[in-house]
Homo-oligomer: A and B are copies of this chain.
C-alpha cells in the first residue's frame, strides 16, 4: 500500500480535536454539551441578505474571476471607505474565507524555510497553514497578567533573522480577546519598515471591539502601506462562517498579483456566497449594533462568572468573542476531557478548548483554556454553572483522578 507523506501525516490538529470523541460519547449518553470550544456563533445570518439571495435570478452559476466578482470587490471597498479605510476595489481580493487568504499569502510572500514572527497564544490553525507552506512560526509569548498585551517591540526585534519575512498579528485577538492600540500598531509599523518585513494583520474580529477607543486597522498606518496586508472575512461579522468569503487588502501590487496567481489556480471563490456577501455588506448598521451588544453582554457574563470561581485568573476581554483563562488545574486538557467524560450537572456539561494548542512554545498554556462566548446569555449561564461546579469538583479530587485516568 502506498504511503502518505510525512507532511500530510504531521498537519497539526485543532486544540480541541482530541476531545471530539469524548463530546460525541457524552451526547450519545444523552448529555447536553454546550460548545464554547469553537468560534461558531448562534446569531442569525442577516435575514434580509438571505432573502435577497433567494430573490436573485440564477441561470448559470458561473466561475467568478480568481480575485472575486467585481461587484463584491467594489462592495467591500465601499464598505471600508465608509468607515474611513482608504482602500479601492483593485486592492481587494476575495478568498474562500480568511483562511485561504492567509495560506495564499504564505505562499505568495515566503519561500519554504522562511519564518514569520507571531505573538502567542495565537489562532491554532496558523500552525497548520505554516506547516503546509513549509514556513516557520517564531513565537513571542504574551501573558495573562498583561491581559495578553503585545510583548515589547524589542522582543520582536530580537527574533528577526535573515529568514524572517513578516510579522503576523490577530487584532482583535483570537484566542485572547486583546485589542492592540494605535500606538502599538505604529510601533509595529516602524519595526517592519526598519527591517523591510511584511505586516500581516488578521482583522476578522474588527467589528467586535468593546472599548471606547475606535478600532485601529493596520491599513491606517502611514508610511508602510506596501508592507501591510490585512485579512478580513464575513464569517464572524455576519455569523456566516459557512459562506467561506474572506478578503485580503493590500496596496502592494506585487503581493496582490502574487496572491492573485494562487487565486486563479483555484479558479473562483464560491459564487452563491459572493451574492450573499454583497447583500450583507449593503445595509448592516442595525444588525452589527445588535450583534456587538449581544457579544458585549456575553463577555461581561463570562467574566463575571469566571472571576467568582476560586483560583481562576481572568480579565474582561476587549474584543473578539473569546476569553483566555487560567484554571487551578494541572492539566487543562485533562480537565476539559473530564468535563465531557465524567461530569454532568442536570444532564448538561460544557466543552472548552485547552490552551496548550494555542502556543508554539512547549509546556505553555497547560493550565489555560479558551472560552468562546458564542451562545446566548441563558445557555452561557448554564454552561458557566457546569464549569463552576465542575471546576470545584475536579480540583477537589484532581490528584486522584489524574492517577486513575492517565
Contacts and interface: CB of A to CB of B under 8 A. Distances in A.
Interface of A: 1-9, 11, 13-14, 17, 38, 40-45, 50, 53-54, 58-64, 96-97, 99-100, 103, 107-112, 114, 125, 128-129, 132, 134, 165-166, 192, 196-198, 226-227, 239-244, 252, 254-255, 258-259, 261-262, 264-273, 276
B63 A45 contact: no
Given A2-B109, A108-B5, A241-B267, A61 B45 contact: yes
A8 B258 contact: yes
Contacts of A198: 2
A129 B242 CA distance: 25
Contacts of A197: 2
A350 B112 CA distance: 41
Contacts of A110: 5
Given A5-B111, A11-B262, A270 B267 contact: no
A142 to B, nearest CB: 23
A331 B7 CA distance: 42
A131 to B, nearest CB: 9
Given A44-B60, A62-B40, A272-B272, A109 B241 contact: no
A39 to B, nearest CB: 9
Contacts of A268: 97, 241-242, 244
B61 A254 contact: no
Nearest to A234: B61
Given A42-B60, A252-B1, A243 B266 contact: no
The quantity of this chain's copies bound in the complex is 2
15 contacts: A4-B109, A4-B255, A5-B110, A7-B112, A13-B264, A45-B58, A61-B276, A62-B241, A103-B266, A125-B267, A128-B265, A132-B262, A244-B270, A244-B271, A272-B276
Given A7-B112, A112-B7, A243 B272 contact: yes
Contacts of A196: 1-2
Contact of A165 (B2, B9, B261, B267): B2
Contacts of A271: 242-244
Given A60-B42, A243-B61, A96 B270 contact: yes
Given A8-B262, A97-B266, A129-B265, A58 B63 contact: no
Contact of A62 (B112, B165, B242): B242
A243 B270 contact: yes
A242 B99 contact: no
A266 B61 contact: no
Contacts of A254: 1, 3-4
A107 B264 contact: no
Contacts of A62: 40, 241-242
Contacts of A226: 1-2
Contact of A4 (B45, B64, B129, B258): B258
Contacts of A252: 1-2
B125 A227 contact: no
A174 to B, nearest CB: 13
A112 B112 contact: yes
Interface centre among A1, A4, A53, A60 (most CB of B within 10 A): A4
A107 B243 CA distance: 25
Nearest to A99: B266
A245 to B, nearest CB: 8
B265 A99 contact: yes
A307 to B, nearest CB: 30
Nearest to A265: B128
A96 B254 CA distance: 26
Contacts of A3: 254
A244 B96 contact: yes
A133 to B, nearest CB: 9
A110 B6 CA distance: 8
